[in-house]
């Protein structure tokens, strides 16, 4: 049967190979994941650029068109009011597209609420948005809720509740006769619902007990990265944290075990080779370690009655196992055994 040290070496080699294979697979997985994140970040930058181009190219032209339609309406030109409304709708549609492309244009929730209060809206905010990857979408939900409140019930209070699970926007509805009616559907809610669901959340809205309630649950990490999180770490840094650091901990643990097991228990091989049967105990006692090896996976030969046997280690790494036995009968060496050639228990 192979010696204990040969078996230990084989086991360590097998574990090393298995660990290396697992580490390489993890490295490749991280590389793919971070590459996808980098692509998503680049797409977010491109969306922001496209949003700027759309806003600059079309926004001002539509605004001028609406202004001219207003001037025509004052002079009594037929259908000028309808033209103005169409221009306003086109501007809102443009803003909706720009916001979809570039959520980072939205201020934090606290700033959105402050602006609404400055405009005269009675808004109560509980909770805060935090800094997770879902924050931009959360801001969009709050912005839509405030926009609809201003449009349909500007004199009524609004309650915004933010929790780790999502956000709820509740505003009291104005009396039926006093509600503004511009013939438009709630601003962007269908589009917003699609975006929330695409990110892995849930979305609902509607009237309840005299209030309009908008509820959105938002995952901490959207299914599709939106480029608003921190820059992705390098693959090597993530690999070092997730693979090399645990390996370093294991190595440090083995070093501590070895230090403990080998301390004052190592019998040098040349000293052991010089100990022979029949030699006086006093001649070898000073060369022997102060204590015996504590780790003994190999069974030593049974000592005869009256013998005094001790087992030491030759300093084998990583466990400093007991490998060398020296037995005395009174003041005489009666046996030396090299346990490295013996079988396991």
Position 345 scores a pLDDT of 46
Burial (CB count within 10 angstroms: exposed 0-12, middle 13-18, buried 19+), residue 171 = buried
Q: Running DSSP on this structure, what letter comes out for residue 40?
A: H
CB atoms under 10 Å from CB of 67, counted, come to 12
Centroid of chain to Cα 304? 62
Cα 126 to Cα 120: distance, rounded to the nearest angstrom:
19
Position 156 scores a pLDDT of 87
Cα 197 to Cα 272: distance, rounded to the nearest angstrom:
75
Tens of pLDDT, residue by residue, the chain (345 residues): 455 555 666 666 677 777 667 766 776 777 777 777 666 666 666 666 666 666 666 666 666 676 677 777 667 666 767 776 777 677 666 666 666 665 555 678 888 888 888 878 899 999 887 655 467 778 888 888 887 887 777 788 999 999 888 899 998 887 654 444 444 444 467 777 877 887 778 999 888 888 889 999 887 655 544 444 444 455 566 666 666 777 778 788 888 988 999 999 999 999 999 999 999 999 999 999 999 999 888 888 889 999 999 999 998 887 888 999 999 999 999 999 998 876 554
Position 233 scores a pLDDT of 54
DSSP string, 55-102: IIIIIHHHHHHHHHHHHHHHTT-TTHHHHHHHHHHHHHHHHHHHHHH-
For the record, the structure tokens of 308 come out as: 């005094």
**For the chain, how long is the longest CA-to-CA vector?**
130
Tell me if the bond preceding 318 is cis, omega within 30° of 0.
Answer: yes
H/E segment holding residue 297: none
Output helix, strand, coil percentages for the chain, rounded to the nearest 5: 50, 15, 30
Cα 312 to Cα 299: distance, rounded to the nearest angstrom:
13
CB contact at 8 A, 196 and 207: no
For the record, the structure tokens of 48 come out as: 């922001």
């Amino acid at each position: 049967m192979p010696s204990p040290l040969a078996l230990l070496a084989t086991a360590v080699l097998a574990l090393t190979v298995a660990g290396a294979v697992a580490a390489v697979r993890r490295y490749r997985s991280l590389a793919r994941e971070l590459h996808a994140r980098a692509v998503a970040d680049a797409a977010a930058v491109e969306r922001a650029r496209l949003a700027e181009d759309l806003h600059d190219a079309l926004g001002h032209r539509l605004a001028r068109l609406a202004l001219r339609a207003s001037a025509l309406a004052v002079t009594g030109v037929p259908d000028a009011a309808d033209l103005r409304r169409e221009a306003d709708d086109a501007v809102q549609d443009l803003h909706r597209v720009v916001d979809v492309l570039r959520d980072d244009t939205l201020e934090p929730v606290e700033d959105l609420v402050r602006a609404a209060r400055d405009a005269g809206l009675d808004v109560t905010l509980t909770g805060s948005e935090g800094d997770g990857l879902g924050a931009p979408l959360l801001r969009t939900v709050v912005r839509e809720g405030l926009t609809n409140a201003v449009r349909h019930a500007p004199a009524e209070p609004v309650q915004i509740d933010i929790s780790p699970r999502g956000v709820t926007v509740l505003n009291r509805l104005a009396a039926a006769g006093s509600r503004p009616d511009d013939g438009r559907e709630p601003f962007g809610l269908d589009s917003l619902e699609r975006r929330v669901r695409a990110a892995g959340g849930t979305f609902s809205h509607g009237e309840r007990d005299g209030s309009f309630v908008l509820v959105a649950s938002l995952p901490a990490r959207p299914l599709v990265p939106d480029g608003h999180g921190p820059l992705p770490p390098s693959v090597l840094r993530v690999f070092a944290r997730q693979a090399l650091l645990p390996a370093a901990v294991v190595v440090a643990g083995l070093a501590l075990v070895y230090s403990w097991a080998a301390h004052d228990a190592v019998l040098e091989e040349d000293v052991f080779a010089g100990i022979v049967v029949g030699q006086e105990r006093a001649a070898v006692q000073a060369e022997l370690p102060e204590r015996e090896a504590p780790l003994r996976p190999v069974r030593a030969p049974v000592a005869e009655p009256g013998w005094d046997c001790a087992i030491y280690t030759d300093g084998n790494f990583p466990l400093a196992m007991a490998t060398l036995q020296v037995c005395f009968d009174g003041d005489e060496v009666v046996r030396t055994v090299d346990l490295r050639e013996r079988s396991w228990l």
